[in-house]
Amino acid sequence: MAKIFNNFTKSPKNDILAGITVSLAMIPEVVAFAFVAGIDPLVALSGAFIIGLITALFGGRPGLISGAAGAVAVIFVDLIIKGHEKGMAFENPVENMGFYYLFATVILMGVIQIGAGIFKIGKFVRLIPHPVMMGFVNGLAVVIFIAQIKMFSHKNPVVGEDGVTRYVSTYMQGTELWTMIALVLLTMGIIWLLPKLTKKIPAALTAIIVTTAVVVISGMEVSTVGSYIIEGGGTGLKGELPTFNTDLWSNLPINFKTFQFILPYAFLAAAVGLIESLMTMNLVDELTETRGSGNRECVAQGAGNIVSGLFGGTGGCGMIGQTVININAGGRGRLSGVMMAITLLTFLLFTDKLIEQVPIAALIGVMFMMVIDTFAWSSFRILNKIPKSDAAVLITVSVVTVIFDLAIAVFVGVIISALVFAWESAKRIRARKRIEDDGTKVYEIWGPLFFGSVTDFNKKFDPKNDPQKIKIDFIESRVQDHSGIEALREVVNKYQAQGKEVKLTHLSPECRQLLMRRNPEFDTIIESSVEDPRYHIATDLLDAEV
């Protein structure tokens, strides 16, 4: 029992206080993402509670916070709009049909993520290079910073000529702006100073409470969580326990056309959600010097999204901002994530009026400090000390993350890194040449033989002018793909076309098998004798690798 408790939490006080802090920082961000996607804030908050609770209990990374994240919400914008259009085109029109398509998409998204975990796709996050990680962190910090700047504005209703009411954002000015800035600086100052005095009190939570108290006691008229929600078209934080979404099955047409419509959105959301979750997990691994399970996290994220969709919540994934706040506040165990979810629900059910009084400035201050902690400032110092290709990847991923999307940035970074690696590896192919006593010319190959080095490999040989006997020795090389095998086969055929004898030595068992599958006669030219002591040792090593 003690072991189970220690795995759940090693510091109950830190986890509980960190969870409460994160729940406060979660509300405005989730609400903002709900407005972006065009859904009711309560739908997003319900999803944040369900996903956060399930991933905290069963995920692969204690301390990781999940919820209704913006990276996933953006994908659902087009889905909801087109879903509404489809609903009105039915023989019996259904209003707000896009929301039912949304819930079905979230369920399918979860199924795909569970499949990714079962097939152990989560391990591929290890292939993400460190420059991509740093670029991702920097880009995300900039995105979060820009999102907070937008909070210094009001959404004003404007009636157009067509009679439709639209909301136009205008930035604060004058006294209101300076008051907002002062409260943000007060929050940031408390978060910066308090840990220098004592670390027993959570700085972020204390800063939120103090700033809120200043606003309430002084009677300042500032933007609060409640006013922010109302400006966005909401009615406040009045909520209830999530219940099974029976309307989904009565309104959603269960057929192949529905599956075709939601599948692309579900797949993209699943991919983006897993990438952000796994990247966040890697970041927490570095911050805590521990290691999580990527495949387990995939399954937990999928389960959370399935349950969220069934109970009328939106989709989500790991949230790096809230996760960093949690880690910095001392949240290390699963209890911090559980506490975040329970506190979030408790706030919505019983203390909604108190939460609505929290000034937006306090939450902006917390997020600004999180941006400062998240940004990899060391990247500026190492840009001129690392290979130019790595520096280019770091900068590219940061820029693409800000302009486009996290998933696109990661894919671009990995592709560029892979191409650079292939190019550098291609230049390493070498052939040392020597003549044995019996006149046999030996080519000792060094470096990997794969699609990138095939051209240079072919240039090493001279079938027309070489002597009658040729030996190609792969003791310091390895054929790594089908392109390499084809290149080797073509070289051998060229020598045989000249009527010359070729021997291949130190080929791996896999390479020998593939060569003889298309050319059975190669059995006579591949040296398989163990009389050569080096070959005997190499064979043992290769068998051990296999």
pLDDT over threshold 80, residue 436: yes
Give residue 232's pLDDT: 60
Claim to verify: residue 310 and residue 434 sit in the same structural domain = no
The Cα diameter of the chain in Å comes to: 100
Element (H, E) at 21: helix 12-37
User: pLDDT tens-digit profile of 237-250?
Assistant: 666 777 887 777 78
Q: Which of 38-47, 361-370, 392-401 has the lowest mean pLDDT?
A: 38-47
Residues 356 and 229 in one domain: yes
Mean pLDDT over 105-124 rounds to 90
Three-state secondary-structure class, residue 360: helix
Instruction: Establish if 195 belongs to a structural domain.
Output: no
Q: Does residue 179 lie within any of the structural domains?
A: no
CATH code, domain carrying 484? 3.30.750.24
pLDDT value of residue 535:
41
Is 437 found in the same domain as 375?
no
Q: Provide mean pLDDT across the span 131-141.
A: 83
Residue-level pLDDT at 225: 79
What is the reported pLDDT for 538?
Answer: 42
φ, ψ (nearest 5 deg) of residue 148: -70, -35
Q: List the alpha helices (DSSP H) in 119-241.
A: 130-149, 174-197, 203-218, 225-231
Residues 363 and 481 placed together within one structural domain of the fold? no
Looking at the fold, whether 447 and 361 belong to one and the same domain comes out as no
pLDDT at 366: 84
Summarize the confidence of residues 196-223 as an average pLDDT. 87
Give the pairing of strands 441-449 and 317-318: unpaired
Strands 469-479, 501-505: parallel, antiparallel or unpaired by DSSP? parallel
Q: What is the mean pLDDT of residues 315-326?
A: 88
> 416 pLDDT band (50/70/90 cuts)?
very high
Which of 352, 382, 412 is the last residue before a domain boundary?
382
The CA distance from 395 to 137, in Å, is 11
pLDDT of residue 242: 79
> For residues 281 and 60, is the Cβ–Cβ distance under 8 A?
yes
In contact, 298 and 113? CB cutoff 8 Å: yes
| Chain-centre distance for alpha carbon 264 | 18
Query: With left for phi above 0 and alpha for psi between -120 and 50, is residue 447 left, alpha or beta?
Result: left
Is residue 180 a part of any domain in this protein? Answer: no
For 217, list phi and psi in degrees, rounded to 5. Answer: -65, -40
pLDDT at 362 over 50: yes
pLDDT at 475: 83
Structure tokens at 474: 């792969």
Query: Does 498 share its domain with 358?
Result: no
Of 192, 225, 164, 168, residue with least CA distance to 364: 225
Q: What is the mean pLDDT of residues 478-483?
A: 87
Is 400 within the bounds of a domain? Answer: no
Let me know whether 7 and 127 are in one domain.
yes
pLDDT score recorded for residue 540: 43
| 89 and 31 part of one domain | yes
Q: Would you state the pLDDT for residue 165?
A: 61
In 3D space, the residue among 3, 6, 16 whose CA is nearest the CA of residue 337 turns out to be 16
Kindly state whether residue 537 falls inside one of the protein's structural domains: yes
Radius of gyration of the chain (CA): 30
Report if residue 417 sits inside a domain. no
Distances in whole angstroms, Cα of residue 351 to Cα of each of 172, 187, 358: 29, 22, 11
Residue 33, pLDDT > 80, answer no
Helix (H) or strand (E) holding 317: strand 317-318
Structural domain contains residue 358: yes
Q: In the prediction, which pLDDT does 511 show?
A: 82
> What percent of the chain is modeled with pLDDT above 70?
88
Which structural domain range is residue 482 located in?
A: 427-545
Cα–Cα separations (whole angstroms), residue 39 to 79, 271, 273:
12, 22, 19
Do residues 347 and 437 share a domain? Answer: no
Residue at which a domain ends, from 349, 382, 415: 382
**Per-residue model confidence (pLDDT) at position 206:** 86
Return the structure tokens found at 41.
Answer: 């804030």
Question: Which of 316, 349, 382 represents a domain boundary (last residue)?
Answer: 382
What are the tokens at 140?
Answer: 């995300």
Q: Are residues 252 and 373 in the same domain?
A: yes
Average pLDDT of the chain to the nearest whole number = 84
**346 and 449 housed in the same domain:** no
pLDDT band, very low/low/confident/very high, at 302 (cuts 50, 70, 90): very high
| Residues 362 and 434 placed together within one structural domain of the fold | no
Place of tokens 């090389």: 477
- Give the tens place of pLDDT for each residue, 486-538: 999 899 999 999 999 999 998 888 888 888 887 788 888 888 654 444 444 34
pLDDT at 376: 82
User: What pLDDT is stored for residue 50 in this prediction?
Assistant: 94
Tell me the C-alpha distance between 117 and 298, whole Å: 5
What pLDDT was estimated at residue 245?
Answer: 75
Percentage above 90 pLDDT, the chain: 31
Q: Is position 504 within any domain?
A: yes
Number of domains in the chain: 2
CA 61/CA 70 separation, integer angstroms: 21
